[in-house]
A and B are shown apart, each in its own frame.
Chain A
């Protein structure tokens, strides 16, 4: 029951009933107040929050049903239990229709009341927990998690927010790891369908028949191994959102099936004869150039236009490097909790390395690199060597862009190391520094000899 006692209001015109029930409930650990008639009860309901109202149905003046109606207006979350005699069970049924949680037929055993209260509180806690979880889920996928200072990205998010309110199909384009599914989830969470299911299906790396069954489900005996009827993702996403990732990878036959399902909003399970009507909002995504695929004839033009109602193209991370510090901070706070470490920051050298890197795997790769860093880091700061990130040859300085002094030094050392085939003594000599200093510089800049394996 927690630290705070559940508040119960007992409403009955008979003193002995108020006294015995309140005494009983107090002993069970509830905070109990009583009201001797309907109008006093309504005053209590207006004045304070209640978890449970235990209300006698028949009272002179304002009766239990009126108290119930008033409480539903003022405190819809308060659960009302009606106490009634056998003769008035019909009225109790009426009370249930008006939103009472349950009714107790008088007389009852005290244990009945205790059990019902426990059941009720458990259910209230579940409802509360459910609301919290839904909120948490929404928070997890809301747009503020799609971090970007980049004006283009912000414009995209604005578009997605507006699109979320409509039932229109959305096509999300972008390289692998740019956050297509995250955006799809955020759109779902922002949409009027947010309390209904979000079903994701990756269409890549699946045989045509398997994907067909995954999408549309199958009837028992539809094919060898179909030992039971299975609902497809389309059906599961009814009234919610169906996210079809890697849509560019589906076969011509499935493209046609999908087009039909989208056009008609109904389909047949594999081996089924009954059409199934669905209302699922479709968000499709791909890292392929769908327009080019259409031109080449590998993707149906009609399906392309059916999906491409609202198109959103996410920028690769290398085109919005100004977001790196923001993303790093965000992931570090997440990882601190996940890894169970107090991670405060990443070192300036490590930041520089992250800025220099081109991120072919985009935000996903960044998160993975930081996760490795978070696991390996010995203190609150992630050092450059914790990241296990090696810049490919030539990477680090974008052509034509001015490099920092530190970057110049790094490149110069790397060039000389290569010239001397990573011979430390000769390189140190050429740099006119001692070997220990060179070792420190190599470590500082995370320089590794190409082709040699690294311990990571």
Chain B
């Protein structure tokens, strides 16, 4: 890490339009959690080879690889947010993917908008989910692994219900772990 790397970069790479104030909400929470300023970056290009016509989904690994090809020099971490439904080969879907102890992460809004009862998800609930998943994936880039405490934002979630059940914050143990990692640089 160089001294240039001063902020966390958030960027929308979805096919549709980004919702108003959505990224701001994520930005605020990320800044509070990780203690670094966050910046929202506009990008016009989109990944082209991530779509899998057989699954009608997008490869999270390919998108993440694409994101990492263009990281601002002064960005410490980068989180790309997309409306594409993401997958990795063995799993039906993923909410996101991150490099453990690396630089980048990608988070999808597609499944976070879904509700098990088929009804549309209220906007506040959807936003809360997105914030949690962005913090969760960013946590991985700060070397945090899955936490055994179900309330901790770093706990594993396979369904939106599990995302709803956890808080948006790091537990004390994960906070300590984060501080230790940051102190080491």
**Interfacial residues, chain A to chain B (CB-CB below 8 A):** 12, 14, 16-17, 19-21, 23-24, 27, 83, 104, 106-111
Contacts and interface: CB of A to CB of B under 8 A. Distances in A.
Contacts of B87: 107
28 contacts: A12-B90, A14-B61, A14-B89, A16-B61, A16-B88, A16-B89, A16-B97, A17-B88, A17-B89, A20-B88, A20-B94, A21-B90, A23-B146, A27-B156, A83-B90, A104-B90, A107-B55, A107-B89, A107-B91, A107-B92, A107-B93, A108-B90, A108-B91, A109-B91, A109-B92, A109-B158, A110-B158, A111-B158
Nearest to B147: A27
Q: How large is the interface on B (under 10, 10 to 19, 20 to 34, 35 or more residues)?
A: 10 to 19
Contacts of A104: 90
Interface in B47-70: 55, 60-61
The CB with the most chain A CB atoms within 10 A, among B89, B90, B93, B146, is that of B90
Contacts of B88: 14, 16-17, 20
A25 to B, nearest CB: 12
Interface in B116-159: 145-146, 148, 156, 158
Nearest to B88: A16
Given A12-B90, A108-B91, 5 more contacts: A16-B88, A16-B89, A17-B89, A107-B91, A110-B158
Given A16-B97, A27-B146, A107 B158 contact: no
A68 B55 CA distance: 28
A14 B148 CA distance: 26
A428 B74 CA distance: 113
Query: What is the predominant secondary structure among interface residues of chain B facing chain A?
Result: loop
A63 to B, nearest CB: 15
A104 B111 CA distance: 23
Contacts of B145: 23
Contact of B90 (A17, A23, A27, A111): A17
B105 to A, nearest CB: 13
Given A16-B97, A27-B156, A108 B146 contact: no
Q: Closest 7 A-B residue pairs measured CB to CB? A: A107-B92, A16-B61, A16-B88, A17-B90, A106-B90, A107-B91, A110-B158
Contacts of B60: 16
A17 B97 CA distance: 12
A109 B94 CA distance: 10
A20 B158 contact: no
A12 B148 CA distance: 26
B89 A108 contact: no
A110 B146 contact: no
Given A16-B61, A23-B146, A107 B156 contact: no
Nearest to A23: B146
Contacts of B90: 12, 17, 20-21, 83, 104, 106-108
Contacts of A107: 55, 87, 89-93
A83 B100 CA distance: 25
A20 B98 CA distance: 11
Given A107-B55, A109-B158, A110-B158, A20 B146 contact: no
Contacts of A21: 90
A55 to B, nearest CB: 12
A20 B91 contact: yes
Nearest to A20: B88
B60 to A, nearest CB: 8
A86 to B, nearest CB: 9
Nearest to B57: A107
A20 B97 CA distance: 10
B56 to A, nearest CB: 12
Contacts of B61: 14, 16
A20 B61 CA distance: 12
A111 B156 CA distance: 12
The CB with the most chain B CB atoms within 10 A, among A14, A16, A17, A83, is that of A16
Contacts of B146: 23, 27
A123 B94 CA distance: 30
Contacts of A14: 61, 88-89
Contacts of A23: 145-146
Contacts of A19: 100
